[in-house]
Amino acid sequence: MLIFQSVNLEKLSTPVPWLRSFPALVLVFVLSAFLIEPSAPVAAAFVDPAAGTLAQDEALYAHSILRIANGETPLTPQFLGRLSLVKPPLFHWLSAASLRLFGPHLWALRLPGILAAAGVLTLLYATLGPVGWLLCFSQYLWRARAGLAMMDDLLTLLYLLAVLWIAKDRKLEGRGSAWVFGALVGLAVMTKWFAGVLPLAMLFWGRPPWRRWVEVAVATAVVALPWHAYQFFANREWFLAEYLGVELLSYAVAAPVQSTQESHWHFYAVRAQTLWPLFVPLLLRRWSPVWLVWCGVLSLAIAAYSYQNASYLVPLVPAILLCSRGWLPLWLAPLALVGWLGNGPASPGLRPIGSDLAEREVLHLDADDQLRTALSPDATLRYVFLLEHLPPNGPLDFEQRGIAKSTERFLADPGAQVDAVLVKDLDALRLLIAGSPQRDFLLPPKAWAALAMSVPHEVIVETTKIRLKSRHPVAGPRPNRFQLLDGPGFAK
């Protein structure tokens, strides 16, 4: 006990000045960016190691980004020839600009996410020192998906900047302080829709004067409102159905589809238990009230939102660490070993994305490729689903809008906007294949074995798929007009 009384933890953790100098922070940022660059192929990294869920959204966003980089309108992202108002396009714009600047490389696609994740690590280093940097980077939940072409890293960085800003000026009394805070919130909204408004809850902690609330609201609206107003007037029906009806109302209140069958609390308890090393510094040091409040805001938001996603826990990783004041002592560094020991399941073998489908119309049974085939350049891709209706048949009814069609309707009228064919049983699938000699098919081996049919196509057995290659192919009505990316998982 006398030993602990003679040790000043604050002095032990106080850095020498050059460790917090601008050149040192630049070096940390560059080093972080190089270490973060993901090695996994597109849509092959784990966003949920516990359930083995892969980053399907990375292929969804990458398809829209490649279309923008190829010269299509940046205002309205598209996927497979239809509107895709899943999220606002700030990340799409940044990633498309990176592709235009550096060329069609996977690392260029992911560069905004890589830099945002490096920014998070640099802020942790500046606030908590090397141990804080190490504890964050060692967490598999954070490390597995850091730097992907997804919005989580950019959103987390904007969160940290907004909370750091209000922590520095609680009443937002500094010149332009409220405008900066509001602009950060607006950028967060333009990154991930309604999740971006969460920093506004910190105003209840800071309790600035009412005029500062008005300034924050105006700044947020100036940044986020123009794009939303454009979509409301230009694509009102789709905007109301998908952006508001599905993304906000359906998934927030009662998600029709979940990634697992776990209860809400069990889902997050299983995934959050790996974060326990982040709490150890809190047992030894003074706590920071602003970051404790922010952790509470994030936790309440996760609990209230009905759809379950392990990536929602990502902003909590740096927030928990920042609850400790001052640089963390070096003897806490071994806690990082716990995070390094945690690994997810082995990545499944995925079909390389190449140019072999160019100038062909391809029907892919089920989206078990994590939508990666949608990145095949110069190919017209549609997905085939073994079900009569594509859920949810609610605000965004794909059948009612002509985007999804039954086998019979598709064969009679294969419109360009159709991106999903619904087959109710194996007989309908046989009819679809027999009636499509000009189209290629990608089928799981089990489905092909169950069909037990002769086809006019050339049958090619691949690693994870059976390909029915048309002997007289057609290009299809809406080929992907973008280049093949250069990187892991892509074949030249």
Which residues are CB-neighbours of 173 under 8 A, at least 6 positions away? 208, 212
Quote the CA–CA distance of 399 and 372 in Å, as a whole number.
23
- pLDDT one-digit tens code per residue, 130-175: 999 999 999 988 988 899 999 999 999 999 999 999 999 999 999 9
In whole numbers, what is the pLDDT of the chain averaged over residues?
90
pLDDT over threshold 90, residue 7: no
Statement: the pTM of the whole predicted model exceeds 0.85: yes
pLDDT, residue 260, reads 80
DSSP for 395-413 reads SS-TTTTTSEEEHHHHHH-
pLDDT over threshold 90, residue 19: no
pLDDT, residue 46, reads 86
> Mind spelling out the 3-state secondary structure of 102-163?
HCCEHHHHHHHHHHHHHHHHHHHHHHHCHHHHHHHHHCHHHHCCCCCCCCHHHHHHHHHHHH
- Cα maximum dimension of the chain: 85
- pLDDT one-digit tens code per residue, 363-374: 999 767 889 999
Mean pLDDT for 203-230 is 97
By percentage, how much of the chain surpasses pLDDT 70? Answer: 93
pLDDT over threshold 90, residue 352: no
* CA torsion angle 340 344 345 351 (round to 10): -110
pLDDT, residue 391, reads 57
Banded pLDDT at 6 (limits 50, 70, 90): very low
pLDDT, residue 176, reads 93
